[in-house]
Structures are given as C-alpha cells and as structure tokens.
Structure 1
Amino acid sequence: MPTAVSVPTAPAPTDRTRLRGALAGGGLTCVVLCLAGLLARTYPFGPVTRNIVDLGQQYLPYHAYWRRFLRGDAEGDLFVNWSSGFGSNFLGDVGTYLSSPFDLIVVLFPADRIELALYVITAAKITAAGAAMTALLLTLRRSGPWPVAAVLGAAYALSGWTFNYGATVPMWLDGLVAFPLLCLVGEWARNGRRPLLGPLVVALAWIANFYTAYMATIGVAVFLVVRLLTEGDRARRRLAALLRATRSVLIGIGLAAPLVTVVFFATRVADPTPPTAFAAAAWTDVLARLLPATSSVATPALYIGTAALALALTLPFNAAVPRRERLVWTAAVVLVALSLQWEPTHLLWHAGASPNGIPYRQTFVLCGLLVLAAWLSSARGLPRLPALAGGAALLAVLALAARDSVDIDRWTFPALGAAAALAVAAAGTAVLASRNATSRVLPVLAVALLLAAQAGEAAVTGARIEREQLSKVSWAPRLGPWHDEVARAAARADDWPRHRTDPGETPGGNDVLVTGGQGADYYSSLTSRTYSETLSALGFGYYAKGRHPVTLDSPVADAIFSVGARIRSTPTAPVREDTLPEAEVTTVERPVPPLVTVHPGTDGDTLRYGDSAFANQELALGADVYDLPTDQRRTPTDGGTLTLTLTGTCPAGSEVWFWAPDHTGSAALAGRPPARFDGKPPSVRAPMQSLGTVPPSGEVRVDVHATKAAAPALPAEPVACLVQDRLDRAVQRLTATGATDVRVDGHTLTAQLPPGSTGTAVVAAPRITGWRCAAGDAEPAPAARRLGLLAVPLGGGPGTDSVTCVFRPPGLMLGGAVGATALLALAAVWWLQRRRPGSSARRQEFTDRAPQPRPAGIGAD
C-alpha cells in the first residue's frame, strides 16, 4: 500500500497580502524612525545624546545591568539587586522596566554598546507596532490596498505619542505593540477562533508592560464593542463573543499574575509621590497636538500625520461606508477623545491614580482608533469628492482653531502645508488611476505621493520633537570615558560582600547599574518608602520627589553602610549634549565595619529618627562623633534677604559639615571655596556636604547665600563638626563586635558572628518588605527593623553566632497561585476544544479557515 504524501499548501492570497503589508508597514516605520534621528543628529546617527530624563536615568542603566544579569555577571539574582539602593527588590524592577521580550536583545551587544542596544530595542518595538497595526487593518478589511494599510500602520507606530513619550520611555512602547495585537484577540473572540493563542497574547502583553497593557485592554474593549455593533451580529452571538473575549483576558492576566502581583505589592510600599490633581488641557492645545512638529508633556500627543488624519476625518462623510459603521466609529473616537479630558475617565485610564508627570499616557489608544477610522474610510477605495471635501474642511477648521496654541512650532504649518499638498496630489493621481484602469504607473505614483506625505512629515516631526525635548527638559550625556574609568576603578576596589564600593556620581542616574559597585544611588518607580525616608533622615539627597536617592560622600554614612571604597570624579571639561564626558577618577579606601554589625539591646523597633541628620547618623552608628558649634549665632546680611552668616567654635582640626536639604544656593567656610546646594522641595533634597577643616583657632564661620530673594531655608542644626578620632573608635568597636564572615548568595545573606553575641544584628541594607531572618537555628520570621535597616534580635540569653536572612518578593506566592489557576483554565479550554465534535485545535489556532478538500490522488492509497 503506497504511503500517503504530505504536500505543503501555499498560503492563501489574503495571508500573503497581510504578510506583505505587515513587512512593508514595519519596514517603513523603521526607515522613517531612523530618518528622524538622522535629521536630529541624535545617537546613533549623530553625536547628540538621546538620554533625556528617564531614558538616561532609568532605562539605559537598567538595560546595562540586565545585560550583566543575563550573562551571569550581576551581584544578586532575580529577587535581589545588591548593586542599587543598598539592596533592592529586583523582580519588581524587572516587571516594571525589563520584562519585555524585546529587552532580551541587549544580551547580543557588547558591554560598551548599551546605548546602541537600547536604541535597537526601541526601534524594534516601534517597528513591531507598525507591522502589527498593518496586520490588524488587513484583517478587518482584507480587500483593501495593502500599501495604504502599510502607510497607515506606520502612521500609528510613528504617532506624536511615540516621538514625544514612547521613544524616551521604552517600556510604554510595549503597550503600543499590544493594542493592535489585543484587537486581533478581540477579532478572534468575535469569530470564535484561536481560543488558546488569544490568552497567550494577552499574557505576553501584560508581562511585557502591564501598565500600558491595561490601557490597551480598555481600548480593545471599545474596539470590540464597536465591531459587535457594526458587523450585524445577533444578540446571542454578541454575548458569546464578549464572554470569549472576557475569558481570554482573564486567563491571560492570570498567566501574567506572578509578575504583575509582585509589581503591585511593591507599588504599595513605594515612596509615595505628592498627589496630583488632574487639570484638563485647553482644547486649543489638544487640537494643536493633531498637527505635525508639536511637542509637550502636558497635552495629548495625537499626531498621526496629515494624510492619515485627513482620511480619518472623511469617515463621517463617506457614503461608501455603511451608515451604522460611520456613526458608531465616529461616536467611539469622539467619546474616547472626551474621556481624555474628564477626570473620572482620566482616573479610569490610569488605574485610579492620576500620574505625576505626563498625564495623557493613554493617548496611543486614541491614535490607534484614528488610524482604524482612516483605514475603514479608505479600504474600499479613495473616498469620493464630498467625503474628501468634508474631511479637508474639518482639517482646516481644527488647524485654524489651534493656530494660537503654545505648542505650535515654527515647523508646524510649513510641514502641514507640504504634507497636505502631497496628499492632494496623491488623491488626484488616484482618481486618474481609477479612470484609466490599464495604467500601471498612476497607482504606483499615487502610493508614492501618499508615502512621501506621510513619511516626510513624520520624519520632520520626530526630528523637531527630539530637538525640542533636549532644549526643554533635563538630559544626560552619552556613556563615555568617564563611565569607563569609574567602572575600571570600581572593579579594582571591589571586595563585596566584605565591604561595599560606591562609584559616586557620574552623569545620569542609577550610576552603579552602569559602572558596577554597590551604592546608594537608586531610581525606580518602586523605590521603597523605607529606603527613601531612611536615607533622607541620614542627610542623603534625592531627586524625583524621593524616588531617586543619591549617594552621600560622608565617612559617617560610609561607616553605617559599610562603604569601604569610594570613587570620586572631577570633570575635566563641561558636560555637553554632543560630546562624550570625561573626568579624572580617584579611589578613596577607608576602614569600615562589616556589612553586619551587632548593637546592644533588642528594642530597635522603638527607635525613631529625629529632626537633625547629624544626630540621626550618630543614632544609627551607635556613637557620638559630631560636635555642634558652641555659641552659634546667625547674622543676616544684605537686608536679611540673601545671605546669612553662621558663627561658632568647634575643636580645631575637626571637619565642618553643612546640612540644609531645602537650601538653594551656596555655603562656604571662611577662606574656602563655596559648596553648591540645589534643594527644590518637594522634588529635590540637597545632601549634606563638607565645607572644610576647622582652623587652629577653632572659629567656625559659614556664609550661606541663597539664590532666591528670600532668607536661606535652614534646619535648626545646619552645621556640625566631625571629630575623626571618635569615628575611628566607633568603627573599631563595631568591627570587633560585628560579623567575622558575611556571605551573600543571590537573595540569601548569612553572617557568622563572634560566639555568644547578644543584642541586635543589623544588616546595612534597607528593611524592605519581603525579608525573613533567623538567628542561629531559629525558624525564619519577618525581619525586624532598626532605624530603617534590616535587623535580627539575638536575644539576651546565651547568645548566638550566626544570622540568616532570605528575601522573597511580596506577592510572588499569590501571583504563582493565580498563574497556576489560569494555566489550569487554559488547559481546560484546550481540552473542551478538543472534545468538540469535528474540532481540530491545531487548525483553529494556526489557520484562517477550514481546510480545503484535497485534490484527488494526493495522499490516496
């Protein structure tokens, strides 16, 4: 008997068209994105840095550390990052910044090409968004022209939201990719197809970035309702589709729960930012953001391109589109636009909390709906003259209404005019092509003109937004010789966990993630309240309203946190946006106590910090090391508005320290250069600084100058003198009674103590939620706290000679249980699908329609 022959079937024409369109849409997106960077002269197409705000302070350093982690070179594991924040919840940061599959690309690049890796990741996400939207458009209307779908897919991916927000906050770009993919899941649910793939796509979206995936899911709910109302489905079919969609979403979110719950619980204990009251933007400015070359973080970035917007505006007037479809889609777009401006729906979009910073983070959903409207109006062919006239009139009205907006750039109306002219030429060419069916040149020319209008305007818009951002917001230079030299110095001095090596401050933020070491610098949305408040009480400074504590170059703080080596940098040239930073780097090493010290008493939970950072440091250290100036006087000068002189006496040879966290200006010890303080409450606190050594006379005179026309903002005790001999004795005592050996293995820390130790073992790490500790052979229990640090009571009996602490991210067990339940539910769906009569799960998951009858003779006996 002959063996059956398996003959692979060629993809159906619609599948080939959709693939061709998706590749074209993605490719066009990538080319235009690169062209925008070339015009702006930003890296990697020019010397100018792209590292504005969080791109340089969070995403770049996190990806540098992620590469080291993936290659097994990080100090910590998936649960704990020992490099940042003196020990932080790394799984929470992974779920916030690094859980996208695209972020794995970083491992393919060498260590000195992290900026290039991050740009490639960013470009890959934006490219994928263009391809996914193109595939969605051709799924909704397969007979439409795929070149037009590709242009509109690129319009979505290169929206104003992408250039203004997403390109500099790469984690949000996963939501840009998720929206069209989740719309496809909605289509599968409506048609009863792909019951297994749908939940997996939802899970992938929520794992990649649950924050923007949540917004995309709301947008898909709008999309699905519109589709059910416009496709003529019966009520029973609509209900079944909604139930299938709900099932896919719930199972998908459940599968993502192990990561989502960890981030959720970490958010609950994060340092809270000040409450933000939502204020709707002026409608003039909202309309302006539909136009090219506009930039602002206070208004919704709605630009999708003049040609795409004009097509979307033709939908209400396009008689070729069924009336119900026109009305429902128009109503949906208008209602979503209004929801951006109404506080209750604003809170709904942002999961109940108005965000600090950019208030219109959900705008990419409205951009997607506008592109869908443009496709539905053009997929049946070029709209007729009345529809084109109606769309052009609406475009002219909104441009006229927006002409006085503060967001209008000098390039806005020239770019608008050029794009409109090319779009009109493309429409005219398309009309001629429809009247000359034999012409092959005219259709190609029409598409080329449309492409030139859309791509040229988008490239100019992207370039202008990049340049505007550099001129208006904070930025960090590119990684360069400064960072490299600090990294080499940190590697030479590293002796973790015998002591920490703090790399000091380099341009940017999260310095230790780039250079290596174990420092205080840490910037995350999940920075714990405990860590932020502890460091603030000890005289450290911070940015970002407390979520970015920075290092403190203080021998007392170094003794508290076992920082035995400190890297100091002196810039050799001004830091510029178009050059690589350079600095002279030195290393200072000093004796410090071990990472685990023993303090008398077991009442650590009752200790509280006071109002003086100097007294707080002494409390944490367990020794008096400062002298306050005696006979301290404050003498205002210049009318009491700008300068204050502090005078007093201290031991000769002691070191004068000045602490004024809210002070903006300078402070100088007589005869010494001034130290700069940049306090801007509540966003920025200035760290304490050394002003110099007390002269032999013992006289201390500090001149405090404020840059604002107001008295300097000083605490009750702004000046103290550090007596080094006292500090040396305190360090020797803590070293003699502290751990004799400390081992850190991922998220587990063990320390050997002198035999019979009593009191409280204190680990120089913040007591963030999730730590469980035990002394000796006791059962682990939630760790105690001593002045914000991790503590283990040793008892007052015979004592013990060891402590063990293990960290487990809060929410992991709950998320694991939910994930396991969701996995069982997915398996049940698969089993029920297999048991349906005539069902083939494999066919439903990976094909578009039922298999066609095979030709006679193929596979026959």
Structure 2
Amino acid sequence: MSVTVRPSSGRPAPDDDRETGSGGRAGLPARLRALADRSRDSVPLRAALGAGVLSCVVFCLGNLLAGSYPLGPHSRNVVDMGTQYVPFHAYWRTVLLGGADGDLFMNWGSGYGSNFLGDVGTYLSSPFDLMVVLFPADRVELALYVITTAKITAAGAAMAVLLLRLRRGPWPVAALLGSAYALCGWTLDNGAYVPMWLDGLLAFPLLCLVGEWARGARRPVLGPLVVGLAWVSNFYTAYMATIGAAVFLLVRLLTDDKDRRRPSAVLHAARSVLIGVGLAAPLVLVIYSATKSAHPTPPVTFSPAAWPDVFARLLPATSSTESPALYIGTPALALALAMPFHRGLAARTRFGWPAAICLVALSLHWRPTHLLWHAGAEPNGVPDRQAFVLCGLLLIAAWLSTADGLPRPAALAAGLAVLAALALAARGTYAVDRWSYPVFAVALLLAVLAAGAALVAPRLRGGGAGARVLPVLAVALLVTAQAGETAVAGMRVAQLELRHRSWSPRLGGQERAVADAVADADDWPHSRTDPGEDPGRNDPMVVGGQSGGYYSSLTAQITQDTLTSLGYGYFAKGRRLVSLDNPVTDALFSVGTRIRLAGDPAGGPGQVPRATTTAVPPLVTVRPRLRLPDGTARFGASVFANQEMLLGARVYDPPAPTTRTRTAKGSVILTTTCTPGSRAYLSALTFNGTATLDGGRPVAFAGKLPAVRPPLRSIGVVPASGKVRVELRHTGWLDLPEQPIGCLVPARLERAVKQLSATGATRVQVGGHSVTARIPAGSTGTAVLAIPRIKGWRCSAGDGPERPAAAYLGLIAVPLDGTAGSVRCDFRPPGLRKGAAVGAAALAGLVATALWYRRTRRRQETPAPPPAL
C-alpha cells in the first residue's frame, strides 16, 4: 500500500476527529459509510502495529550490532541492571511461583528482613514484569530483556495512536515517529538499563490520550483506570509523565481556537488524575512511607548541563550521565524544527508547541522546576530523568508539522538550517562520539532525498509510474534514515556503556552452584544460611539464603545504621549493604551456615562453593538483665565494642595501644599486642589498598567514601608471641578508626553463644511476614529478635496486646514480665492501611462517576415526550 506524503496546501488541517467526522459522508449509502468508518478505525491499529514492530526490530538490531546479550556475547548488566533489576526479577519469579521464604510484605532473605512491598512498587509492579514466570529460573536475564523490549514496543505503539488522535495523517509516518519516541536517546542511554523507568515512557502518550478524552468529555471510567495503571506500574516516572501530560493538555487547549470547553476539560482531566492516583494509593503510599524511612544518599548540588552539551545530546551515538538524552532521530528532529516556519499551520499551533518545548527545555536548567520534575528530591546519578517527556513533545511537534503534508521547501530549509546550527554548536563537546557526525550526515542526506521525492511526486502529471513510485520511495528513504540511524546509535551507546561504566558479568555456573549449596544447607528458620559476598549483587535474591546483603533505593535507615555500626560494608553511598564474614555477627544474626568460594578440589580453573556450619543462638534470644527502655544503649565508634554490646559479652581483647609508622616506601605499619591464637580483624572504613599481617597473605580493602566502605575483614591469626604487625599498602584513601584492630578470642565467643542458646527460644516459626517463638517459662527481661526493627513491626508477649515493636540497638525487642511463654511479631508495610482507605474512596468515586455518566447518557438518549394537545 502506497501512501502519498504531499506538501502542505497552506490551509490549516483538521485538528481532530470531531472536525473530520462523518458529516461529509452523510449522502453515502449506509453500507458504504460503515465500510468507510471501519477503514478509518483500522488506521490507528496499523500505525500502532507498525510502530511496535519497528521499535522492536530496531532495538534488537542495535543490540545485535553491539554484540549484547542475548544477541551477542557481551553482558547488558550495566550498573544497577546487574546488581538490582536482574536479582529483583529473579526473586519476583520465586515469589510468584510460591518458592520464597517470605511473601508480598516481607523479604526474609535480604537485609535480615526487609519491606518487600515497597520494593515491589519501586521495581516490580509493572504488569510486564509478570512475564518473568514464563522463563526458567536460569533465564532471568533473557526474561528481563524480553520485558524491556516489550515495554519499548508498547511505548512506540501508544505514541503512534496518540499522534493519529491529534491529527489525521499517513499512518506509516505516525508509526515511524512512534518508533522514534520509543527509541529516543533517553531510552537507549537510560531506560534500556533501568527498565522500571520504561513504564513512564509508555505512560506519557497514554496520559496524553487521557487528556484528549477529557477535552471531549469521553472515557470517564477508562481515563482514571489508565492513570491508576500508570502510577502503579512505576509511580516515579508516571509522576513525570503526568506533568508532561498536563503541559500537553494546556498547549492543546491554548492552541485550538475552536475549543470552547477549556474549564470543563481541565476539570475532567483533574478528576481522572485524582481518581487514578487514588486507585494507586495502596502501593504509592507504601513506597512514600518506605522512602521516608530509607537511608538518604549524600546531598547533590544542582548543576545544569551547558547548552552545547544539551545540543550534543540531540545527535546520534551520544552517551552521558551529565546531560539530558534528547536524541529522537535526525529526520524527526528536522520536522520538529521546521514547525515555526510552517505557514500551513495555524499561528497558535506553529508557535504554541515550540514555545512549550522551549519552556520544558528551560525547566531542566532551573533548580525549582528541576526539583518539581523529581518530586522535590535531587536525584543521584542521572539528573535529567524527565527527558523522555521533552522527546515526546518534540515528536508531537514533528507529527503536527507533517501530518497534512510536508512543509514547503522554504520551511524545511529553515528547519534544516536550525538543525545545522545546533549540530555545529555541539562540536567538540565531551558527549559527541566519533560516530555521531558521520551517522548524522548520512541520515540527513537520506531525509533530504525522501523530502525531495515527496515534494516532486504531486507535480508529476498523468498518474504515471513516477507518481506511484516516488511516494513509496520517500517513505522507504525516511524509514531507512530514521531506523538505520537509531540502530547504529543503539549499537554505539551499548558499546560506550560497557566501556565507561561498571558492569556485572552474566549469571552462570557459579551462581547455580552457590544456589545448590544454599538449598542443601538451608535450615531456615532454625538458623540462617548466608550465601556470602560473591558474586555480590543482592545474592539472596539470586541464589537464596538469608543475608545482611541488600541493595535497594529503599534500604531502611535503621538497617543501614545497625549493620554498618557492626562492621558491615556498603556500596552505592550506603544503600547497597554487603555480607559480613565474621563469627560475632554470625552469632548475633543466627547465621549458622556460611557459603564460601574456594579452589576446585578437582583442579578446575574456577572456584566452587563450600558450606561451613557453626553453632549459633536461635533467631530469638532472651536477655534476662536487659530492661527496656534502656537509654544507655547506643552504638559507639568502635565496631568491636558495638558487637560486644549487642552480644552482651566481651569476646575481643581489650583495646591495646596501636602505633602507626610510615615507612620510606609509603606504606603504614600498625603494631599492637593481642592474645596468642586469637584472630585479628581490621576495621578499615575508607582504606583502599592491602593489609598484610606478618607471615600472612595480603587482604584487599576497597574504600572510597561516600560511595564505598569496606567491611570488617580478618587479616590472620595472632602468632604465639602475641605481637601484631600489619603493613598497609594504600593506593587511595587511608582513614582508620581509633581502634583499627580487634582480636577475637574464640573460646569467649563460644561461651557467649552457649549462654544465649540456653536462655533463647526453644522453637521458632516464621510465616510470610510473621515470627512466633516459644520461650522458656518464666522468662524475664527482653526478647531480642535478630531482625532489624524497620517500621511496620508490631509485637506481643503471650496473650498480651499487640503494640508497635520496641528496639534494642536497632533490632526488634519485646519486654518480658515472666508470665509469657511465647512472643509473636507481625509486619505490615507502613502506609498500606491509609493507602487502602484512599483507594477505597477512589474506587467509590470511580463507580459514582460511571453511574452519573450512564444516567446522563440515558437521559440524553430518551426521546422527549410528544407535546400535549
């Protein structure tokens, strides 16, 4: 099927379906009118299908050219893709299929017990994420790639439908521009590696459609449902998409001089948003409450990108975290830039949309509006996460420039001149790649040839072969320019990501071996099984077990404070806690089995997991001498003293004077004395380098505050002389605490473990989000659960009333008076009850809206009674 792309006639085109209705076909027979309506209704479907297929093909082609998994050997696990999204989806699959220790409320495996519903709402609540159950457990990365591709495909289809709703035009062009939106620079550089954000990419055109329905007082029930689904899928980017849709609706109302329903349209849209957000409140308020309790990252200073850097991001094959990714393809950008010069458009349209786009671009550079886009919080990492909205507005402008025919040559020439000026201004900026200008030039040449073919075709007389071939050629050249440029840009961005950013290898045999070892040793809830530090990316979610390791944007402040005070390390500025291999903390958190990687006894090249089991106290212990509230119990600066305080026993040697001597080679020598045969540990904080105990092997530390803090590490056994001499070879930071060395005496720890086991729970049962423990009769003092006291826990002793759980040094504590024979604690995510109430009210509002519109429609359809005679 050929499509004629004709030059503009100079008259404003119909603005929407209301102005291009069936009035002109009133004289046609009923059957012909039905056929015409059916043909017209199929146009959005064709455009959506075309945009979706093109988006999918081009995205996969870019990955194929880059050699990225699953179309090549290179990992796609760039930054958080490997350390958050793959593990979360692996665990989500386990939860959905019923094999997890926890449930929708509680994740028992991570952080010794974390709020899982908050993580679901942040990372996993998109309907697309349910697709993970269709894949085997060892193909989670493939599942995530398919989910990512499906979201991109759906975003392209939704934008194509929106474009045809704005103005009728050739569906192949709508499909091409829909695909350009789905594969904009924001997607290639950000969304493809942060798949939860892609729900916002899909939400923007859908919410714009809700705005269109509000203009016509249509879809009063579907509109709020679309808003609610967008906010449930990913509230963070849905919030940005909602602001973008508000800008879209405002421009639509101001540029349409025939629209007399502006106040009612705003009210209809506001109602849809309020009801929709209300429907999402049970999840949104849980996320909000968890965010308020989360460990904050260090403050970020707002620093807008320089304008040449912004212009550079309009070019293909650019990648940067310091400037907004605005690439939409050279042909599409040329059409958008031609809009102000297109005299075939109404003046309000040709100047209103460019003005709105400029204001949105300026909002990226002003701190108050920058914070507004990000819900008042300065983002860490990528600063301009709302750039997909600006890309969408640019593509809407491109569509309005061409839907009724190409702009005249003068307008096209003016747009190309602006484009050339922007490209010239970007020359020499850091984000420009060696591929950027060559690919840009080729795409521009093909786009000019396509425009020439489209402009010449209508002038050929007689309907010859040229008149039929040239429109097809124009579309083919346009698709080649746009899709080819985007495929090459996707390839280059993928390559640059792997070259300049940290990444994790693909999941493989080592993870499967560790998972098998964990499954064989698992003894939960009698004791925990820690899968260890390796591979170090949310391990329990990937391989099972129960660990302090945890990486989430919602890592609770109390969890972070408690574990780091005990010597745990972290990455990601405190939100990625790593497991600690230490006998004292194993006793504190009932880690009875620990998995460690060791050399293959068969002589193989890799490492194999080995399980080591030790006796530890139960998950619930009783401290007879502890009375709450204990105002004196506070962690101090020494991780060794903190461990002893929480354990309730002295297990390290008393602090001895430590001398520090700097050698001529630049290394630092630490010397102290300890009990012979004890095990020495180094608390390094920000130390980056190696520590070597005389006669031992170097132990690596990788500290770099505020991003990375190394955990407490064993450096060897104290010799018979009792003299400890440690050489520190530092390659970066060297910031040691006042007590850097602690010497653990195993016999003392063994006595402490036996004491806690003797007075601890005799039986522990753990449900999806509850703990029940039977304790010795007549127990007094305080029951301490080896679970961080995050918000949402409520506990009771025996038949006593349930109250918010108390805390002892960051762990759940329950006072005992000697009458209770059991302790029970339940977790309910904070915000869930309020969210459910708001959701119920919103649902009632939706039902009331549906009934009102149904009654109004019936009243309008009821014929008036005949006049009385």
Please state which band the TM-score falls in when normalised by the shorter chain: over 0.9
- Separation of aligned partners in 1, 2:580 and 2:391: 45
Q: Could you say which residue in structure 2 is the equivalent of 1:653? A: 677
1:453-489 deviation digits (Å, cap 9, x = unpaired): 0111101111111111111111100000110000000
Secondary structure, counterpart of 1:755 in structure 2? coil
Q: Could you say which residue in structure 2 is the equivalent of 1:771? A: 793
The structure-2 alpha-carbon separation of the partners of 1:146 and 1:629, relative to structure 1 and needing over 3 Å to count, comes to same
Check whether the contact 1:629–1:700 (CA below 8 A) recurs between aligned residues. Answer: no
1:223 equivalent in alignment to 2:248: yes
Q: Structure 2: which amino acid aligns with 1:319?
A: R
Q: Could you say which residue in structure 2 is the equivalent of 1:326? A: 350
1:169-222 deviation digits (Å, cap 9, x = unpaired): 011000000000000000000011100000000000000000000000000011
Q: Could you say which residue in structure 2 is the equivalent of 1:625? A: 651
- Separation of aligned partners in 2, 1:32 and 1:107: 26
1:79-127 deviation digits (Å, cap 9, x = unpaired): 1010111000000000000000000000111101100000000000000
- Separation of aligned partners in 2, 1:512 and 1:418: 49
Matching of residues 85-164 of structure 1 within 5 Å: 85-142=111-168, 144-164=169-189
The structure-2 alpha-carbon separation of the partners of 1:699 and 1:447, relative to structure 1 and needing over 3 Å to count, comes to same
Matching of residues 364-375 of structure 1 within 5 Å: 364-375=388-399
- Separation of aligned partners in 1, 2:436 and 2:535: 33
Q: Could you say which residue in structure 2 is the equivalent of 1:847? A: none
Secondary structure, counterpart of 2:728 in structure 1? strand
Q: Could you say which residue in structure 2 is the equivalent of 1:198? A: 223
Q: Could you say which residue in structure 1 is the equivalent of 2:82? A: 56
- Separation of aligned partners in 2, 1:134 and 1:586: 55
Check whether the contact 1:664–1:680 (CA below 8 A) recurs between aligned residues. Answer: yes
- Separation of aligned partners in 1, 2:658 and 2:176: 72
Q: Could you say which residue in structure 2 is the equivalent of 1:401? A: 425
Check whether the contact 1:204–1:256 (CA below 8 A) recurs between aligned residues. Answer: yes
1:821 equivalent in alignment to 2:841: yes
The structure-2 alpha-carbon separation of the partners of 1:707 and 1:443, relative to structure 1 and needing over 3 Å to count, comes to same
Q: Structure 2: which amino acid aligns with 1:182?
A: L
1:510 equivalent in alignment to 2:538: yes
1:400-437 deviation digits (Å, cap 9, x = unpaired): 00001111100000000110111111111112222235
Matching of residues 82-481 of structure 1 within 5 Å: 82-142=108-168, 144-235=169-260, 237-436=261-460, 437-438=463-464, 439-481=467-509
- Separation of aligned partners in 1, 2:450 and 2:738: 71
Q: Could you say which residue in structure 1 is the equivalent of 2:744? A: 722
1:603 is displaced (CA, Å) by: 2.8
Gap runs ≥5 in structure 1: 1-7, 573-580, 842-861
- Separation of aligned partners in 1, 2:783 and 2:774: 11
The structure-2 alpha-carbon separation of the partners of 1:110 and 1:657, relative to structure 1 and needing over 3 Å to count, comes to same
Secondary structure, counterpart of 1:626 in structure 2? coil
The structure-2 alpha-carbon separation of the partners of 1:840 and 1:567, relative to structure 1 and needing over 3 Å to count, comes to farther
Check whether the contact 1:160–1:304 (CA below 8 A) recurs between aligned residues. Answer: yes
Matched-pair identity in %: 61
Q: Structure 2: which amino acid aligns with 1:67?
A: R
Q: Could you say which residue in structure 2 is the equivalent of 1:807? A: 827
- Separation of aligned partners in 2, 1:612 and 1:568: 27
Which of 544, 549, 563 lines up with 2:591 in the alignment?
563
The structure-2 alpha-carbon separation of the partners of 1:284 and 1:570, relative to structure 1 and needing over 3 Å to count, comes to farther
Q: Could you say which residue in structure 1 is the equivalent of 2:26? A: none
The structure-2 alpha-carbon separation of the partners of 1:702 and 1:470, relative to structure 1 and needing over 3 Å to count, comes to same
- Separation of aligned partners in 1, 2:443 and 2:569: 49
Q: Structure 1: which amino acid aligns with 2:850?
A: W
Q: Could you say which residue in structure 2 is the equivalent of 1:753? A: 775
1:630 is displaced (CA, Å) by: 3.7
The structure-2 alpha-carbon separation of the partners of 1:571 and 1:301, relative to structure 1 and needing over 3 Å to count, comes to farther
Check whether the contact 2:533–2:580 (CA below 8 A) recurs between aligned residues. Answer: no
Which of 569, 573, 583 lines up with 1:541 in the alignment?
569
Check whether the contact 1:505–1:569 (CA below 8 A) recurs between aligned residues. Answer: no
1:636 is displaced (CA, Å) by: 2.0
- Separation of aligned partners in 2, 1:377 and 1:234: 20
1:214-239 deviation digits (Å, cap 9, x = unpaired): 0000000110011111122455x100
Q: Structure 2: which amino acid aligns with 1:14?
A: R
1:564 is displaced (CA, Å) by: 0.6
Secondary structure, counterpart of 2:280 in structure 1? helix
- Separation of aligned partners in 2, 1:273 and 1:571: 38
1:505 is displaced (CA, Å) by: 2.0
Secondary structure, counterpart of 2:109 in structure 1? coil
The structure-2 alpha-carbon separation of the partners of 1:326 and 1:148, relative to structure 1 and needing over 3 Å to count, comes to same
1:14 is displaced (CA, Å) by: 2.2
Check whether the contact 2:799–2:820 (CA below 8 A) recurs between aligned residues. Answer: no
- Separation of aligned partners in 1, 2:745 and 2:533: 26
Check whether the contact 1:179–1:220 (CA below 8 A) recurs between aligned residues. Answer: yes
1:587 is displaced (CA, Å) by: 1.0
1:605 is displaced (CA, Å) by: 4.6
The structure-2 alpha-carbon separation of the partners of 1:730 and 1:322, relative to structure 1 and needing over 3 Å to count, comes to same
- Separation of aligned partners in 2, 1:790 and 1:538: 16
1:653-700 deviation digits (Å, cap 9, x = unpaired): 110111111111111101111111111111111101001111112111
Check whether the contact 2:51–2:179 (CA below 8 A) recurs between aligned residues. Answer: yes
Secondary structure, counterpart of 2:376 in structure 1? coil
Q: Could you say which residue in structure 2 is the equivalent of 1:5? A: none
1:276 is displaced (CA, Å) by: 1.1
1:491-513 deviation digits (Å, cap 9, x = unpaired): 00001000000101233511110
Matching of residues 548-587 of structure 1 within 5 Å: 548-570=576-598, 583-587=607-611
Alignment coverage as a number of residue pairs: 820
Q: Could you say which residue in structure 1 is the equivalent of 2:856? A: 836
Which of 30, 47, 52 lines up with 1:26 in the alignment?
52
- Separation of aligned partners in 1, 2:656 and 2:301: 46
Q: TM-score, normalization: structure 2?
A: 0.93
Q: Structure 2: which amino acid aligns with 1:108?
A: L
1:601 equivalent in alignment to 2:629: no
1:68 is displaced (CA, Å) by: 0.4
- Separation of aligned partners in 2, 1:570 and 1:505: 13
Check whether the contact 1:477–1:508 (CA below 8 A) recurs between aligned residues. Answer: no
Q: Could you say which residue in structure 2 is the equivalent of 1:74? A: 100
The structure-2 alpha-carbon separation of the partners of 1:840 and 1:545, relative to structure 1 and needing over 3 Å to count, comes to farther
Q: Structure 1: which amino acid aligns with 2:104?
A: L
Q: TM-score, normalization: structure 1?
A: 0.94
